[in-house]
Amino acid sequence: MVSKKTEVNGELDTRLVALAKKNKVKLAEVKKQYEDQLAVLKERGVTVNLERLAVNGVMNIYRRGKSVFSKPRKEATIMYGFISGDLGIWDKAEQVRRQVKKFIEEKGLQAALEANMVDGDNNILDQRAKIYGRDNPNYLKPLNPKLQVLERTLFGFFRKNGSKVYKYGSIQTSDNRLARAWSKVKFYVPCQVPTIIKEEDDTDYILSSSSAEDTLSVFKAVKEDIDIKKVIDETLVKRWTDIKNIEELHEATKDAWDRKVFVKGVVAWINEDRPTAIGSIKMGLMNPENEDDLVVVEIPEQLSIDFGELSEVYVFGKTRRSMYRDQETHKLVDGDVIIQATGIFTVVPTPKESGYTEMADETPVNGWLD
């Protein structure tokens, strides 16, 4: 039995009961997992949304215990909604090439040869022992220099046909054709798309693409009048995190590969003229209720920036701990928690600045004196 001190409320208790039923285990086992998750979160110093995060942790435990390969392939389901985010294209073959080239730069060609990264003809060898959990027949064989193994993940708000309930979700593809084609997907435009529902719970969908010709996961615009902001507000009503609590949320969820964060804020500053080495743009997002609460957001190049400073926006993404180099020790040390944006919705826009304009009353300054 759950003690009174850690007793879950009705909504969360219902989720525990549903988990026990779905996974065909005793409720006592699920509640024991809940107690364990509570203890772990308390050790990390979590105090906000403690019970809810503990239930999420239990759900993740049972998800990890399942194998997608043990299930029969599901039929495609047409989902309705709109896209809100994009992780961009990821080429696994190119990743292998870069890893080998970096190894050679650091340790030399002979070391790469001895490590089975290249062969005697200096061909880069396929380093992927497994592909999607299965043995790779081309493991340690020459990697075709033109080979592309593309992946892409989009995010959005989806509902099933006949349902009015939207859930936040991701849709992932490992089909090269679709990974490229999804570059043309429009954000916040009502659409439909055939998908495979891999996982579903009370709040989220995890979807994958369908490559069957009759259910190919191509997005199609639909003529439906959707109040986008209303859908987002209603779907995420209990999932927003205050900017002041970003650090605590990250510590509580940092071990989860699929962690998510949803925040509301005002754009305090944005450095469009200073992109990072990988093309990301950084912006400062402040709490609309307290200007002292601010978090840095990284905006990847695949997300368009159609807003300026002082705009009110919703940010969907993932937290990570930033790093910086200590000036005295020259070692990388932990910095603040930041948000890697996967999507941004502009609530109240302000126009973007067109560039610096010299003020009429400014006096020119001579920057060099002899």
Q: Average pLDDT over the chain, rounded to whole?
A: 87
C-beta pairs of 247-255 under 8 Å, 24+ apart in sequence: 247/336, 247/337, 248/45, 248/46, 248/47, 248/48, 249/48, 249/319, 250/319, 250/320, 250/321, 250/337, 251/44, 251/45, 251/46, 252/41, 252/44, 252/46, 252/53, 253/53, 253/319, 254/319, 254/321
Q: Which tens digit of pLDDT belongs to each residue from 54-71?
A: 888 888 887 766 544 444
Q: What is the mean pLDDT of residues 278-303?
A: 93
The verdict on domain 240-348 having CATH code 2.40.30.30 is no
pLDDT band at 52; cut points 50, 70, 90: confident
Q: What is the mean pLDDT of residues 116-134?
A: 84
Longest CA–CA separation in the chain, Å: 85
Phi and psi at residue 355, in whole multiples of 5°? 135, 170
Q: What is the pLDDT of residue 79?
A: 97
DSSP per-residue string spanning 265-332: EEEEEE-TTS--TTS-EEEEEEETTEEEEEEEEEE-TTS-----TT-EEEEEEEEEEEEEE-TTT--E
Res. 226: pLDDT tops 90: yes
User: How many Cα atoms sit within 13 Å of 57 on the Cβ side?
Assistant: 22
Q: What is the pLDDT of residue 356?
A: 42
Q: Which segments of the chain belong to CATH 2.40.50.140? A: 240-348
Q: What is the pLDDT of residue 365?
A: 67
pLDDT band at 9; cut points 50, 70, 90: low
Q: What is the pLDDT of residue 138?
A: 83
Query: Where is average pLDDT lowest: 7-16, 59-68, 94-103?
Result: 59-68
Q: Which tens digit of pLDDT belongs to each residue from 129-178?
A: 887 667 888 888 898 888 899 999 999 999 999 899 999 999 999 999 99
Query: Where is average pLDDT lowest: 124-128, 152-156, 166-170, 331-335?
Result: 331-335
3-class secondary structure, 176: helix
pTM (2 decimals)?
A: 0.73
Res. 334: pLDDT tops 50: yes
The answer to whether 241 touches 247, Cβ cutoff 8 Å, is no
Q: What is the pLDDT of residue 132?
A: 67
Q: What is the pLDDT of residue 367?
A: 66
**Whole-angstrom distance, CA of residue 360 vs CA of residue 367:** 19
Q: What is the mean pLDDT of residues 211-226?
A: 92
Q: What is the pLDDT of residue 357?
A: 42
Q: What is the CATH number of domain 76-89+152-234?
A: 2.40.50
The answer to whether 303 touches 85, Cβ cutoff 8 Å, is yes
Q: How many helices (H) and strands (E) does the chain have?
A: 8, 13
**Whole-angstrom distance, CA of residue 327 vs CA of residue 252:** 30
The proportion of the chain whose per-residue pLDDT surpasses 70, expressed as a percent, equals 90
